[in-house]
């Protein structure tokens, strides 16, 4: 087991180098650089742009830039952002933390919704209730997150209009954007927690729905397969209770593929919640990454790639180890 | 026009102010729509911004319009919303020497940083030193050079500074007058101890903002990256800034900038009542705001179609195509370019691209600088028949299919490139191409990456790699609205002709007039020179201007102190922050 882990860790090195090299290459293939966008300013002299290019090291051929960057990366330095002249880590730490808040919340919501729904659908296969859950699942799969978020926001506005007309209650049920309220700094610790939680509900729900759909479908299929297998029939014949069969004997093997997928959650945790973050203005990774790409602030982009790649690789390793732990058929020697 | 003004007017005002020395700056009643005594103290004004400040360091920010700067300008001189003339700001008076080669400014008494330290000439001199230090890499660096020579700044005494200009120049006063102090007792120390590198590292966004000091009306007290900046009133600002009734400014306690990731998120926040002002970027958003007001969701003012934005969209033809002499001759022919202008349907563009919210543009000055726009330039409006006549003069006549061909039977065809992802430009290009096709001209529209487009546009020499490009420029100022890189024939944004030399008399004249205008300190005389430049350029049509979209503004009704309606435009905005109050 120990030997396996060490071997895997060594294997990570070329993979990691390859990934960063590719990312660097792609960043370099984009025409122009951070300074090219300033060239259209009517009062900036071309000499100034050349001078800044030298200051930023952008005048060097890209292999030189890559080796320099890799050198400082090995010393734990992700480089400097061009646009703010600050260490990349200082710029991406807060977005990573903010995205984690959203993603953890949506994962909790995902499991809380998807496991019961999947089990329920499998146990009542082809019933009306199953059909409805399936329909909702497909809806969740089909609707893009960023659109769904905007639809929910519109719904909140309409609801406010309704409650104002009917009860004179002119407040939104949930905040429609941002991660905190503007009076956030005046709140105590508990108030701050509640404020963030309040802002998290809508985007976390949106992110969870797309996951719920897929998760429920797969879990349902797994459950159906196990519920009709021989060992369940044997258990039934021996008089094991319905609840015990469902949750103890069928659900346990059915969730194995999801355990294997847990490692993949690690990069998702910081990979951010995608475009939903833009729609509800969540200060997470997606907006940071998009802004850095737009500005061609390449070390910020690469910093995010490095952190995500690192976590993906560690996550895969953890998945494989977990799999061995939960599935007696798998052994690493 | 109320913007009519000259340095002389300003000088008279200065003389009057100088008589009553140690006076605070009185913000004119004409700058606010509030009745005398209507403004109240207290309250919070919340707005949104589309990106975080990249830094709090005044010398690093690679982009202009930094949020902290925007909170309001603390410069030696300033321009009010009602006039282009310079008026004293942190300086209580200024005097231009008779030869126009130097300006002496005297600081107001009682200027203080937000930590209570006095602001004196050292703070201005330090800002100047850091801005003119190559290694600091400040955005302001280029502005301090006129024709390659540095503007010199010296301290005469504790309260007086003098700027010496290498030549007479309108823009010199812009650079000198717009100098803001930087805290010498903090950043200056860092600079002296650690040089440019240490200075550049100071005051990044990881700094605790409460440790930074400012001269502005509001100072940042909290910064949550990606979320908001909270500003609080600077108690020392009121010591040198008062309203027309003598009350200390600003009125508000707090000013909050919510950082949003998209303009739609800002719109949602506005409808939710979480921010107090919003500028719709298109008519759809105007519709949403107007609907929300009608529904009673928000109680707000809405001003649609107020003024053209300070940017342009134009088609530029490449005059340097040695490898295709026929095209080169065509693109250099003024009749061809006029014909192309006759094929730009500016009304259709206004309707189809901007939903009716745009104004046609005929000269190279943004319409919002109304004082400078020459209304009588030659115009070549949409007129396909006239275009055909002009093209026939050059030798292009329709063949049997209606395609225009020359004597050799070669069709009239070129490529028009614009940047991919800019929907409005792509649509404008397409509308032009459709009209051209109807007239028998084959225009192949290409949407390419922005940087690639810029690379093509900025190539120099006799053979450049494009036919025509649709692009826009922004920037400029109200003192001399032409950029230094655009009109001179060796400028890198002299984009139609990058051979390094003027090819036409009109270019030579424009180049000469550009220099002459900059050396003319009298504003009215400079305007006449500007008119002449526009007339020459419009006749030459090196850039075929299309339309200028209009801007829209909205704000919550409980926010007072906006400019009188006729002063609101894209350049001066809706309000002066220190004069803003909550009802």
DSSP element (H, E) containing B374 = none
Mean pLDDT of B546-559: 94
pLDDT of residue A328 exceeding 90, the answer is no
Q: Do A84 and B452 touch (CB under 8 A)?
A: no
- Which of A260 and B47 is assigned the larger pLDDT? B47
Among B265, B485, B486, beta carbon nearest to A279: B265
Whether A86 and B204 lie within 8 Å, measured CB to CB: yes
- Minimal CA–CA distance to B453: which of A297, A58, A24, A39? A39
CATH architecture for residues B314-549: Roll (3.10)
pLDDT range class, residue B22, cuts 50, 70, 90 = low
Position with higher pLDDT, A271 vs A34:
A34
- Compute the count of residue pairs across chains A and B with CB atoms less than 8 Å apart: 167
pLDDT of residue B482: 87
The answer to whether the predicted template modeling score (pTM) of the entire model surpasses 0.80 is yes
* CA–CA dist B37, B578 (Å, integer): 15
What mean pLDDT do residues B11-25 have? 55
Note whether A28 contacts B: Cβ–Cβ < 8 A.
no
Chain B: nearest CA to A64, how far in angstroms? Answer: 22
List of chain A residues whose C-beta atoms are within 8 Å of the C-beta of residue B475:
41-43
Give me the residue from A39, A279, A281 closest to B458, CB to CB.
Answer: A39
CB contact under 8 A, A176 and B227: no
- Among the listed residues B163, B268, B216, the one whose alpha carbon sits nearest the alpha carbon of residue B56: B216
In this complex, do B54 and A84 lie within 8 Å of one another by their Cβ atoms?
yes
d(CA B509, CA B488): 10
Chosen for mutation from B130, B222, B272, B469 (greatest number of chain A CBs closer than 10 Å) is: B272
- Taking only the tens place, the pLDDT of each residue in B95-137 is 988 888 999 999 999 899 999 999 999 999 999 999 999 888 7
Q: Which of residues 95-124 of A touch B (CB under 8 A)?
A: 95, 98
Angle (CA) B40 B42 B45, round 5°: 105
**Of B291 and A291, the one with more pLDDT:** B291
**Predicted pLDDT at A211:** 78
Q: What is the DSSP string of A220-252?
A: HHHHHHHHTSHHHHHHHHTT--HHHIIIIIIHH
Residue B292 pLDDT exceeds 90: yes
Least confident of A18-27, B147-156, B240-249: A18-27
Mean pLDDT of B407-431: 91
In B97-208, the DSSP E strands lie at: 102-107, 145-146, 149-150, 152-157, 160-164
Interface test with A, best of B137, B147, B265 (most A CBs within 10 A): B265
Q: Domain extents for chain B?
A: 314-549
* Model confidence band, residue A42 (pLDDT cutoffs 50, 70, 90): low
Q: Which of A26-40, A174-188, B309-323 has the lowest mean pLDDT?
A: A26-40
Q: Give the mean pLDDT of chain B.
A: 88
Structure letter (DSSP) for residue A132: H
Q: List the single residue in A with minimal CA-CA distance to B494.
A: A42
pLDDT band at B65 (very low <50, low <70, confident <90, very high): very low
Question: Contact at 8 Å (CB) between A53 and A35?
Answer: yes
A240 Cβ partners below 8 Å, 6+ apart?
A249
Residue scoring higher pLDDT (B292 or A146)? B292
User: Which range among A158-162, A272-276, B226-230, B384-388 shows the weakest confidence by mean pLDDT?
Assistant: A272-276
> What's the rounded mean pLDDT across residues B510-535?
91
Which of A34, A41, A187 would you mutate first to test chain B, the one with the most B CBs within 10 A? A41
Partner residue opposite B268 with nearest CB, options A41, A55, A177? A177
**A178 and B260 in contact by Cβ < 8 A?**
yes
Sort out which chain B residues have CB atoms less than 8 A from A206's CB and list them: none
pLDDT tens figures, B367-408: 888 889 999 999 999 999 999 999 999 999 999 888 999 989
B455 contacts in A (CB within 8 Å)?
31-32, 36
Q: What is the mean pLDDT of residues B463-490?
A: 85
- Judged against a pLDDT cut of 80, whether residue B266 lies above it is answered with yes
User: Residue A275's pLDDT is what?
Assistant: 84
pLDDT value of position A13: 86
pLDDT at B18: 45
Of the residues B253, B268, B490, the best mutation for testing chain A's interface (the one with the most A CB atoms within 10 Å of its CB) is B268
Determine which of A32, A38, A43 to mutate to test the interface with B (most B C-beta atoms within 10 Å). Answer: A43
- In this prediction, residues B22-42 reach a mean pLDDT of 90
Q: Do A82 and B62 touch (CB under 8 A)?
A: yes
- Yes or no, beta carbons of A84 and B454 under 8 Å apart: no
* B452·A177 Cβ contact <8 A: no
Portion of chain B with pLDDT greater than 90, in percent: 59
Residue B339 reports pLDDT greater than 50: yes
- CB contact under 8 Å between B226 and A287, yes or no, is yes
* Exposure of B268 in the CB half-sphere (CA atoms within 13 A): 26
Of residues B63 and B87, more confidently modeled: B87
pLDDT for residue A78: 86
pLDDT score of B491 = 84
Selection from A217, A301, A286, A206 nearest residue A257 by Cα: A217
What pLDDT is stored for residue B80 in this prediction? 86
Phi then psi for residue B87, to 5 deg, are -125, 155
Average pLDDT, integer, range B249-258:
93
| Among B134, B222, B269, beta carbon nearest to A185 | B222
Closest residue of A to B495, CA-based?
A40
Portion 49-88 of A in contact with B at CB < 8 A: 51-52, 55, 81-86
Q: What is the average per-residue pLDDT within B342-360? A: 92
Q: What is the pLDDT of residue B70?
A: 54
For the cut 70, the answer to whether the pLDDT of residue B67 exceeds it is: no
pLDDT in tens, A215-273: 888 888 888 888 888 888 898 888 888 888 888 888 888 877 777 666 666 666 656 57
Interface touch A45/B485, C-beta < 8 Å = yes
Partners of residue B265 in chain A, C-beta under 8 Å: 177-178, 278-281
| Residue of chain B whose alpha carbon sits nearest to that of A284 | B226
Q: Do the Cβ atoms of A43 and B485 come within 8 Å? A: yes
Average pLDDT over residues A158-164: 91
* Closest-CA residue of chain A to B264: A279
For residue B491, the chain A residue with the least C-alpha distance is: A45
Residue A191 pLDDT grade (very low, low, confident, very high; cuts 50, 70, 90)? very high
Closest chain A CA to residue B53: A84
- H/E stretch holding B544: strand B543-545
Contact between residue B58 and residue B266 where contact means Cβ atoms under 8 Å apart:
no
Lowest mean pLDDT among A68-77, A324-333, B385-394: A324-333
Left if phi > 0, otherwise alpha if psi is -120 to 50, otherwise beta: which for B555?
Answer: beta
Interatomic CA distance for residues B205 and A81, integer angstroms:
12
CA–CA separation, B412 vs B466, rounded Å?
16
Decide: B2 and B82 in contact? Cβ < 8 Å: yes
Residue in B226, B264, B476 closest to A283 by CB: B226
Shortest Cα distance from A47 to chain B (angstroms)?
A: 10
Residue B481: what pLDDT?
A: 87
């Amino acid at each position: 087991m120990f030997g396996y882990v060490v071997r895997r860790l060594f294997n990570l090195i070329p993979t990691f180098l390859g990934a960063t090299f590719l990312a660097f290459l792609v960043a370099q293939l984009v025409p122009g650089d951070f300074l090219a966008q300033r060239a259209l300013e009517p009062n900036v002299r071309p000499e100034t742009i050349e001078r800044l290019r030298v200051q930023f090291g952008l005048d060097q051929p890209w292999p030189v830039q890559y080796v320099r960057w890799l050198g400082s990366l090995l010393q734990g330095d992700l480089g400097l952002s061009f646009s703010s002249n600050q260490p990349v880590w200082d710029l991406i730490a807060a977005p990573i933390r903010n995205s984690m808040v959203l993603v953890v919340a949506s994962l909790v919501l995902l499991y809380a919704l998807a496991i019961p729904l999947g089990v329920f659908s499998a146990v009542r296969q082809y019933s009306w209730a199953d059909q409805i859950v399936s329909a909702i699942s497909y809806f969740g799969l089909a609707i893009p997150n960023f659109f769904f978020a905007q639809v929910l926001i519109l719904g909140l506005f309409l609801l406010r209009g309704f409650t104002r007309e009917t009860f004179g209650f002119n407040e939104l049920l949930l905040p429609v954007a941002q991660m905190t309220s503007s009076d956030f700094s005046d709140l105590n610790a508990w108030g701050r927690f509640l404020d963030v939680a309040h802002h998290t509900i809508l985007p976390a729900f949106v992110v969870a729905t797309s996951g719920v759909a897929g998760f429920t479908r797969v879990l349902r299929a797994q459950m159906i397969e196990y519920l009709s297998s021989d060992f369940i029939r044997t258990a039934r014949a021996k008089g094991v209770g319905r609840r015990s069969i469902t949750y103890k004997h069928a659900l346990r093997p059915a969730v194995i593929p999801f355990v294997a997928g847990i490692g993949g959650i690690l990069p998702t945790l910081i990979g951010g919640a995608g475009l939903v973050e833009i729609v509800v203005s969540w200060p997470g990774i997606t907006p940071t990454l998009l802004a850095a790409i737009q500005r061609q602030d390449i070390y910020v982009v690469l910093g995010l790639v490095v952190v995500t790649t690192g976590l993906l690789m560690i996550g895969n390793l953890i998945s494989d180890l977990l799999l061995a732990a939960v599935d007696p058929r798998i052994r690493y020697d | 026009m109320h913007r009519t003004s000259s340095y002389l007017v300003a000088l008279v005002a200065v003389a009057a102010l100088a008589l009553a020395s140690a006076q605070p700056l009185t913000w004119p009643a004409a700058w606010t729509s509030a009745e005398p005594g209507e403004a109240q103290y207290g309250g919070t004004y919340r707005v949104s911004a589309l990106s975080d400040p990249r830094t709090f360091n005044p010398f690093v920010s690679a982009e202009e319009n930094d949020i902290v700067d925007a909170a309001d300008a603390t410069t030696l001189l300033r321009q009010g919303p009602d006039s282009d003339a310079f008026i004293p700001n942190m300086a209580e008076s200024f005097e231009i020497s008779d030869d126009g080669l130097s300006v002496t400014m005297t600081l107001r008494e009682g200027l203080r940083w937000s930590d209570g330290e006095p602001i004196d000439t050292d703070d201005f001199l330090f800002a100047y030193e850091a801005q003119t230090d190559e290694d600091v890499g400040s955005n302001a660096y280029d502005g301090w050079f006129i024709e390659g020579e540095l503007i010199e700044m010296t301290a005469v005494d504790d309260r007086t500074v003098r700027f010496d200009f290498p030549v007479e120049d309108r823009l010199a006063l812009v650079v000198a007058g717009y100098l803001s102090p930087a805290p010498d007792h903090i950043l200056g120390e860092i600079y002296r101890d650690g040089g440019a590198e240490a200075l550049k590292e100071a005051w990044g966004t990881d700094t605790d903002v409460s440790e930074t000091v400012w001269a502005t009306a509001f100072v940042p007290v909290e910064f949550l990256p990606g979320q908001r900046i909270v500003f609080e009133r600077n108690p020392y600002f009121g010591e040198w800034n008062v309203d027309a009734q003598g009350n200390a400014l600003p009125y508000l306690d707090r000013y909050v900038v919510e950082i949003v990731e998209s303009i739609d998120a800002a719109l949602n926040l506005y409808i939710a009542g979480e921010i107090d002002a919003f500028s719709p970027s298109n008519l759809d958003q105007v519709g949403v705001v107007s609907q929300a007001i009608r529904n009673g969701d928000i109680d707000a003012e809405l001003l649609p179609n107020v003024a053209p934005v300070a940017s342009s969209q134009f088609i530029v033809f490449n005059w340097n195509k040695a490898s295709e002499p026929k095209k080169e001759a065509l693109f250099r022919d003024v009749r061809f370019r006029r014909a192309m202008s006759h094929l730009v349907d500016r009304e259709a563009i206004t309707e189809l691209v901007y939903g009716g919210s745009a104004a046609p543009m005929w000269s190279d000055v943004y319409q919002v600088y109304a004082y400078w726009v020459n209304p009588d330039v030659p115009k070549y409006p949409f007129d396909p028949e006239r275009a055909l006549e002009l093209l026939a003069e050059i030798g292009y006549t329709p063949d049997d299919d209606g395609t225009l061909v020359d004597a050799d039977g070669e069709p009239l065809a070129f490529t028009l490139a614009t940047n991919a992802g800019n929907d409005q430009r792509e649509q404008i290009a397409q509308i032009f191409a459709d009209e051209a096709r109807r007239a028998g001209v084959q225009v192949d529209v290409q949407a390419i990456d922005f940087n690639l487009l810029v690379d093509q546009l900025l190539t120099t020499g006799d053979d450049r790699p494009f036919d025509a490009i649709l692009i826009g420029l922004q920037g400029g100022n109200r003192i001399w609205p032409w950029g230094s890189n655009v009109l001179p024939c060796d400028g890198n944004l002299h984009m139609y002709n990058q051979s390094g030399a003027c090819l036409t008399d009109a270019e030579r004249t424009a180049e000469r007039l550009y220099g002459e205008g900059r050396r003319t300190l009298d504003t009215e005389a400079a305007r006449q020179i500007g008119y002449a430049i526009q007339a020459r350029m419009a006749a030459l049509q090196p850039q075929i201007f299309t339309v200028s979209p209009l801007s829209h503004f909205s704000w919550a009704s409980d926010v007072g102190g906006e400019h009188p309606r006729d002063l609101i435009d894209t350049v001066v905005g809706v309000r002066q922050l220190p004069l803003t109050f909550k009802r």
